[in-house]
Amino acid sequence: MAVPPSTYPHRLLPLFLGLFQAAMLLFFALFVTYDEPSAQEKDTSLVAHQVYSTFPFFQDIQVMLVVGLGLLLTFLPRYGFSSLTHNFLLLNFSMQWALVLQGLLHHFHHGQIHLDLHKLLISEFAAVTVLISVGAILGRASPCQLLAMATCEVPIYLASEWVIVTCLGVLDVGGTITIHIFSCYFGLGVSKALFGATQQPLHPKETPTPSSDLMSLVGTLILWVFWPSFVAVLCQPGDAQHRAILNTLLAMSAGAITTVVASSLLERDGKLSPGHLQNGSLAGGVAIGVVADMAVPPVASLALGSLSAVVCVLGFRFLTPLLGRKLTLHDQCGIHNLHGLPGILGAAASVMAVLVASKDTS
């Protein structure tokens, strides 16, 4: 790993991770089981149906997180390999950790947790928050710091998700509020706490090369392609899921075009900035999540996608340097521009959609 070994004790990482995996083994041995095999034929075809309707979406999301997000983070050539590794490690760590916590909170019946694909998927969503937050401190934090962050973030996410979805009754099928906004501000808070005091100069090797920009853009494109699966996987099968897929496709497409418009207007010589492309193209997907399965017209998805791309590019151009100067807030990957601002835009759109819908029906 690229972090100089002198900054953390060598044995802390394997010790912490080894104890964690041992504790997982103990917990699974005591409390986790599978459903009893279905006795009846009808149940079998039901299970088969669930597998076929969820598993392809699940695989798409795994590709997004492991390959797509991993490659997106390799834009700093010096940290390319470790970014990919850390992303992979944190996904597995957070997923197992969320599985345990969610099992204890929600699914603990008669002393046992019955594991199924849906519970793994929900845990994967919890892990996404960690992977997003990491973007704020990429290449600056040691693996142990990242794991400590993940250990704290997962339970706080579960609590905040419970408050937002269960207590407040907010519908957020694509995780715009519960995942993107939450993890963005959590990550920025961690960045401020860890590195806020020091005005760190940029490492001379912390500049993307053409080759690392290309790999990172490939990551963006993989995320872009599979984003509809991420938004639609938890929707009601049928109309709602179909609409969520269409809305997400429209928002992603408008976002991609608008990113090019915004970026080439802002750059002096009309060239496109790789960073804008890598992030702006995805902003539409962040914003659309919260309204994707609602009965919004197609034009709303297009508009929301365009608007979030504009906001994202403007954020990179003006807000990130400003935050760095005024608040000494470092945001290495610009997660505030990709997850924070479009998330807030999506949340505002969902409030409007609900107001319009309630006016229509009254």
- Which positions from 116 through 155 interact with a second copy, judged by CB under 8 A? 116-117, 120
- Which of 7, 239, 322, 357 binds a second copy (CB under 8 A)? It is 239
Q: Which of 32/323 has CB closer to a second copy?
A: 32
Q: Please tell me whether residue 76 binds a second copy under the rule CB under 8 A.
A: no
Q: Which of 110, 111, 210, 359 binds a second copy (CB under 8 A)?
A: 210
Binding mask 303-342 for a second copy (x = CB under 8 A): x--x------------------------------------
Q: What is the DSSP letter of 112?
A: B
Interface mask toward a second copy for 284-303; x: CB under 8 A: -----------x-xxx--xx
* Residues 158-197, mask of contacts with a second copy (x by CB under 8 A): ----------------------------------------
Give the x/- contact pattern for a second copy in 1-20, rule: CB under 8 A.
x---x----xx-xx--xx-x
Secondary structure class of 319 (helix, strand, coil): helix
Per CB under 8 A, does 207 bind a second copy? Answer: no
Of the candidates 179, 188, 190, 222, which one interacts with a second copy according to CB under 8 A?
222
Region from 61-69, 163-171, 313-321, 332-340 binding a second copy, contact rule CB under 8 A: 61-69
CA dihedral in degrees (159, 141, 1, 337; nearest 10)?
70
Q: Which of 169, 201, 204, 238 binds a second copy (CB under 8 A)?
A: 238
- Does 38 bind a second copy (CB under 8 A)? Our answer is yes
- Quote the radius of gyration of the chain (alpha carbons, Å): 21
User: With 0-12 CB in 10 A as exposed, 13-18 as middle and 19+ as buried, what is 359?
Assistant: exposed
Report the alpha-carbon distance of residue 152 to residue 97 in Å, rounded.
10
Q: Contacts for 185-190 with beta carbons within 8 Å, 24 or more apart?
A: 185/340, 186/129, 186/133, 186/153, 186/156, 186/157, 187/132, 187/133, 187/134, 187/135, 187/136, 187/137, 187/335, 188/136, 188/329, 188/331, 188/335, 188/336, 188/340, 190/133, 190/136, 190/137, 190/149
Instruction: State the DSSP string of 178-195.
Output: IIIIHHHHHHHHHHHHHH
Q: Is 200 in the site for a second copy (CB under 8 A)?
A: no
Would you state the structure tokens that stand for residue 203, as one six-digit string?
């490492």
Report the residue number, 142 or 183, with the smaller CB distance to a second copy. Answer: 142
Instruction: Please report whether residue 345 would count as binding a second copy according to CB under 8 A.
Output: no
- The reply on whether position 256 binds a second copy by CB under 8 A is yes
